[in-house]
Amino acid sequence: MSEEKRKYGYIHRIGEEISVYFLDGKVLRGKLLKVFTYEIILEVDREDKPVEVTVFKGAIKYII
């Protein structure tokens, strides 16, 4: 039997919907596109159009 290793962290959730909670209490929900050293790229819907948003990791409190 092969035991699958568990993956931790949001970096393994690329392509999935996530919620980003900021230090000031605001929330941004969208699809995780890319993860870089200092920022993440989300695709969010604005006025029924997909828009790419850059979020700096220093502003993030936590991600669900």
CATH number at residue 27: 2.30.30.100
Q: In DSSP terms, which residues pair with 27 in a beta bridge? A: 21
- Quote the pTM value: 0.85
Integer Cα distance of 7 and 1 in angstroms: 19
CB 33 within 8 A of CB 42: yes
Note whether residue 41 is domain-resident: yes
Q: Which amino acid is at 19?
A: S
Q: How many domains does the chain have?
A: 1
In a domain, 3, yes or no: no
Q: Is the predicted pLDDT of residue 1 greater than 60, yes or no?
A: no
At 12-41, the pLDDT tens digits run 999 999 999 999 999 999 999 999 999 999
Q: Range of 25's domain?
A: 11-63
Residue 1 belongs to some domain of the structure: no
On the question of pLDDT at 2 being above 80, the answer is no
Residue 2 within any structural domain of the chain: no
Q: Is residue 4 part of a domain?
A: no
Residue 61, pLDDT above cutoff 80: yes
Q: What is the pLDDT of residue 47?
A: 92
Residue 46: inside a domain: yes
From the centroid of its chain, how far is CA 17?
7
